[in-house]
């Protein structure tokens, strides 16, 4: 566990101990502490980590035994601006509920749980120091004021502390509000995100390699639009890491 994650767990544990019993905040039937993110062992056992085989481009997991790298049909049909995308776990059941409550109900006590899932998978893959920046997917300013935090930035902070890759939280700006992606098709999502992101006018990149961080990867429309802006500003390579992957 990183020092940042440990500090966060200790601090949140003291404050929440006054309000919450040490019980899983999902099933309410088993013990769980602030250090666990208030997620008990049985609920944790439902988490599905993403392991090979998966699409080399978007990280979509596949059943079976593939002996050679492959790219899925969706990626072959889409113009994606990142070189690869990887996610720690599948976004279903426990993970889907935790992410939803963390983002939309400000259930910050779940953050240690999400950060642990994220780092458990990302750290082995990012162990070599050949990335220059970690950049979170930004929220539109009005949305961030309403939510009071950016979940991607908080997760990126954990990854930066663990890898010692610098966090550049203000490099990428969201300059246009966008409709919710939930009910849109793949093509509509891409159109919805077109032109939504720009690199800060005072920043230029010169071939730097960037890790783009978000909470959930679904079709890749959001992260691809971010990667397009970063590449246009001079980034040499952009890879994506998220906690969860929608199927």
Quick: pLDDT tens for 122-147.
999 997 668 999 999 999 999 999 99
Q: Out of 2.60.40.3880, 3.40.50.2020, 3.40.50.1820, 3.10.20.30, which CATH number does the structure's domain 3-245 have? A: 3.40.50.2020
- Could you tell me which residues come within 8 angstroms of residue 87 by beta carbon, excluding any fewer than 6 positions away? 50, 59, 121, 216, 217, 241, 242, 243, 244, 245
Q: Is the pLDDT of residue 2 over 60?
A: no
Give 44-59 pLDDT, tens digit per residue: 999 999 999 999 999 9
pLDDT at 200 over 80: yes
53 prior amide bond cis, ω within 30: yes
Q: pLDDT at residue 238 above 60? A: yes
Asked whether the CA dihedral 138, 141, 143, 149 is positive or negative, the reply is: positive
pTM of structure? 0.89
β-pairing, 133-136 vs 172-174, is unpaired
- The band of 93, judged by pLDDT with boundaries at 50, 70 and 90, is very high
Q: How many CB atoms lie within 10 A of CB 26?
A: 22
Q: What is the pLDDT of residue 205?
A: 94
| pLDDT confidence bin for 73, thresholds 50/70/90 | confident
Place of tokens 């994506």: 240
Strand arrangement of the beta sheet that strand 209-217 belongs to: 84-90, 237-245, 209-217, 133-136
């Amino acid at each position: 566990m990183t020092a940042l994650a440990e500090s966060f767990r200790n601090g949140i544990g003291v404050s929440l101990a006054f309000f919450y019993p040490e019980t899983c905040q999902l099933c309410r039937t088993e013990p769980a502490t602030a250090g666990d993110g208030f997620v008990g062992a049985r609920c944790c056992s439902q988490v599905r980590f993403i392991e090979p085989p998966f699409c080399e481009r978007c990280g979509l997991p596949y059943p079976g035994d593939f002996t050679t790298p492959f790219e899925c049909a969706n990626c072959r049909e889409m113009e994606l601006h990142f070189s690869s995308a990887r996610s720690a776990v599948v976004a279903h059941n426990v993970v889907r509920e935790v992410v939803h409550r963390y983002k939309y109900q400000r259930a910050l006590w779940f953050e240690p749980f999400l950060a642990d899932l994220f780092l458990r998978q990302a750290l082995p893959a990012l162990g070599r120091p050949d990335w220059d920046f970690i950049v979170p997917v930004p929220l539109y300013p009005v949305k961030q004021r309403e939510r009071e935090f950016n979940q991607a930035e908080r997760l990126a902070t954990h990854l930066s502390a663990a890898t010692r890759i610098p966090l550049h939280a203000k490099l990428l700006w969201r300059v246009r509000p966008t409709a919710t992606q939930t009910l849109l098709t793949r093509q509509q999502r891409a159109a919805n995100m077109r032109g939504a992101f720009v690199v800060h006018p005072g920043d230029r990149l010169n071939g730097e390699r960037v890790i783009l961080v978000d909470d959930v990867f679904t079709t890749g429309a959001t992260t691809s639009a971010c990667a397009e802006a970063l590449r246009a500003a001079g980034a040499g390579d952009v890879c994506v890491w998220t906690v969860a992957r929608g199927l």
